[in-house]
Amino acid sequence: MEAIWRLGSLGLPVCAPLEEQAEADVVVIGAGITGLTTALPLVEAGQRVVVLEAKGVGGGVTGGSTGNLYSTLASGQAALRRKWGDEVAADVVCARSEAIDDIEALIKRFSIECQFRRQSAYRLLTGDRQHSDHSLNDERDALLRAGLDVASAEGPGLPFDSWGIRIPDQAQFNPLHYVQGLASVLIGMGVAIHEHCPVRRVDAKEGLVQTDTASVTARHIVYATHTPKGISLLQAGMLVSREYAVAARLRRGEYPEGIFWLLDPFHSLRSYRHGDTPYLMVVGEKHKTGEHEGEHYQLLREYLSSRFEIETFSHQWSAQQYSSPDGLPYIGRMHGHDNLYMATGFAADGLVWGALAGRIIADQILDHDNPWQARFASRRVTPGKSALQYAKENATVTKHLARDYLGTERIDSFDGIAPGQARVATKSGEKLAIHRTEAGELKVLSAVCPHLKCIVHWNPEESTWDCPCHGSRFDTDGEVIEGPAYRPLSRSEGLG
Ligand code: FES
């Protein structure tokens, strides 16, 4: 099943893969919210821009997001304030508020139909009030200090007891329709957006970006790919996770209006209307990428069913998150290369960070001042705020390298793998990712991730091979879905 945002997907003029050598001022890799927001001001300033997208426009994490736009962070303003203090916490709110205003202005300017509307966001508790809520008081205090209006909230349209904080004047939209609208605008301005055109190699020194069929040379190269492709030191400290979503129709009862963060435990809830048909969706059940355990979609269905009268479940999807070690995104010029740019570490808050990143990167390329460049610079070094997560994530990589290389089951044949099953095993000394389709077809790939040689793990809910080290993901044919790997999992010679 696909994300709910594909309902009523806007048609785009055909964007073919790149077939010929091309030259540009800027190559943007990725046609999600970051890439297309970067491209727009560049084109308007007269730059020649080429956009290369591995899937379709918005087909990465933009089209798998919640569609919620908010000035604070889903993980909470109080946590941000504890880590960074009042000044930075207020900067985050200010920068993100401006980015939401920018999105709204573009929607109005180009008449993009994406159901943008201002909404309140709620942080809510639902349990026993006696054990409530000094955490809510901290959060309220942090939001006020950051300059946001807040009010108390009691059961705001939900069919169960809840209380907490309301933050007015946040927003929601359909993120896929938004970027499809932006893409149409850009194509109308003469930008070449090449879909289904994965990038296989970047040579920053030569200003060269290579695809399967052609290459582009450019003065500037932007990784608008959620995490930079290839090898970057920042990947070593990034926490990579997957989060799941389901949407449903109600048998009876109201569809609640707003952004609802239910905190015990964390779930994000919202409604969405396609035509005359309303839907309710919930997002949660996060786990580290490559460490899949349990039935996350089923848990989300149970979560909704225990709180609403569900008629039917209509959609399910998941998305990846990269959380930076110091809690802020990395945006802008990369270490070591003045012509290479990235935007990563958005955690669960990527739509607004993506819009902000697009502005910052475009301003850097155009040599314009941007008040947020320094605050979110990808070249910043913050050991005091980052060391713990760096240590944890490096320990994760070491653990997986040791356990997965030493502990893989040995097999002599593939007979024990039934239709629908998958496993990683060693055969004839080779680590294999083995999957038998429901129809009985056997697909055997190398289990060694082409990024930095960790062993991939099976995600049965997505039918993907996911790497636990830095989050590269591959389909059952080995092709890269997302993450830092450029190349697919290689096909194994060990079949038979
Ligand atoms: Fe880095 Fe797989 S993503 S080793």
User: Domains (ranges, CATH) in the chain?
Assistant: 4-64+176-230+326-380 (3.50.50.60), 116-171+237-322 (3.30.9.10), 383-496 (2.102.10.10)
User: Is the beta carbon of 484 within 6 A of some atom in ligand 1?
Assistant: yes
Structure tokens at 392: 């944890």
For residues 261 and 417, what is the distance between their CA atoms, to the nearest angstrom?
A: 41
Q: Looking at the CA of residue 449, tell me the nearest atom of ligand 1.
A: 2
Alpha-carbon separation of residue 266 from 67, 143, 166, 262 (angstroms): 17, 19, 16, 5
User: Is the beta carbon of 342 within 6 A of some atom in ligand 1?
Assistant: no
Nearest protein Cα to ligand 1, atom 4: 452
**Per-residue pLDDT, 69:** 98
Q: Provide the Cα torsion 332, 338, 340, 342; round to 10°.
A: -20
Q: Looking at the CA of residue 235, tell me the nearest atom of ligand 1.
A: 1
Ligand 1 midpoint to CA 403 (Å): 15
User: Is the beta carbon of 449 within 6 A of some atom in ligand 1?
Assistant: yes
Place of tokens 């475009």: 362
For residues 261 and 349, what is the distance between their CA atoms, to the nearest angstrom?
A: 13
Ligand 1 midpoint to CA 449 (Å): 6
User: Is the beta carbon of 165 within 6 A of some atom in ligand 1?
Assistant: no
CB under 8 Å to 35, separation ≥6 — which residues?
Answer: 28, 29, 51, 53, 222, 224, 358
User: Is the beta carbon of 236 within 6 A of some atom in ligand 1?
Assistant: no
Each residue's pLDDT expressed in tens, for the chain with a length of 496 residues: 689 999 987 777 777 888 889 999 999 999 999 999 999 999 999 999 999 999 999 999 999 999 999 999 999 999 999 999 999 999 999 999 999 999 999 999 999 999 999 999 999 998 767 656 678 899 999 999 999 999 999 878 899 999 999 999 999 999 999 999 999 999 999 999 999 999 999 999 999 999 999 999 999 999 999 999 999 888 888 999 999 999 999 999 899 999 999 998 999 999 999 999 999 999 999 999 999 888 999 999 999 999 999 999 999 999 999 999 999 999 999 998 999 999 999 999 999 999 999 999 999 999 999 999 999 999 988 888 877 877 777 777 777 777 777 778 899 999 989 999 999 999 998 999 999 999 999 999 999 999 999 999 999 999 999 999 999 999 999 999 999 999 999 987 655 4
Ligand 1 midpoint to CA 411 (Å): 25
Ligand 1 midpoint to CA 47 (Å): 34
User: Is the beta carbon of 452 within 6 A of some atom in ligand 1?
Assistant: yes
Q: Looking at the CA of residue 483, tell me the nearest atom of ligand 1.
A: 3
Ligand 1 midpoint to CA 465 (Å): 11
DSSP string, 284-311: EEEEETT---S-HHHHHHHHHHTTSEEE
**Per-residue pLDDT, 134:** 79
**Per-residue pLDDT, 496:** 42
Q: Looking at the CA of residue 468, tell me the nearest atom of ligand 1.
A: 2
**Per-residue pLDDT, 132:** 61
Ligand 1 midpoint to CA 241 (Å): 14
Helix, strand, coil tally for the chain in percent (to 5): 25, 30, 40
For residues 46 and 317, what is the distance between their CA atoms, to the nearest angstrom?
A: 38
Ligand 1 midpoint to CA 473 (Å): 9
User: Is the beta carbon of 470 within 6 A of some atom in ligand 1?
Assistant: yes
Structure tokens at 476: 């059952």
> Do 472 and 478 touch, CB atoms closer than 8 A?
no
Ligand 1 midpoint to CA 385 (Å): 24
| Best of 399, 454, 480, 482 for a ligand 1 pocket test (most atoms within 8 Å of beta carbon) | 454
Specify the DSSP class assigned to residue 410.
Answer: B
User: Is the beta carbon of 18 within 6 A of some atom in ligand 1?
Assistant: no
User: Is the beta carbon of 4 within 6 A of some atom in ligand 1?
Assistant: no
CB under 8 Å to 341, separation ≥6 — which residues?
Answer: 220, 221, 222, 223, 332, 333, 334, 361, 364, 365
User: Is the beta carbon of 485 within 6 A of some atom in ligand 1?
Assistant: yes
User: Is the beta carbon of 472 within 6 A of some atom in ligand 1?
Assistant: yes
- First-last CA distance in the chain: 33
User: Is the beta carbon of 455 within 6 A of some atom in ligand 1?
Assistant: no
The pTM for the full model equals: 0.95
User: Is the beta carbon of 469 within 6 A of some atom in ligand 1?
Assistant: yes
Determine phi and psi for 145, rounding to 5 degrees. Answer: -65, -30
**Per-residue pLDDT, 130:** 61
For residues 223 and 322, what is the distance between their CA atoms, to the nearest angstrom?
A: 14
E strand spans, 173-214: 192-194, 199-203, 208-211
E strand spans, 91-186: 117-125, 151-154, 163-172
Ligand 1 midpoint to CA 472 (Å): 6
Q: Looking at the CA of residue 456, tell me the nearest atom of ligand 1.
A: 2
Rg of the Cα atoms in the chain: 22
User: Is the beta carbon of 164 within 6 A of some atom in ligand 1?
Assistant: no
Residue 61 CB: number of other CB atoms within 10 A? 25
Structure tokens at 484: 């830092």
Ligand 1 midpoint to CA 198 (Å): 17
| Best of 239, 451, 459 for a ligand 1 pocket test (most atoms within 8 Å of beta carbon) | 451
Indicate the residue type of 456: V
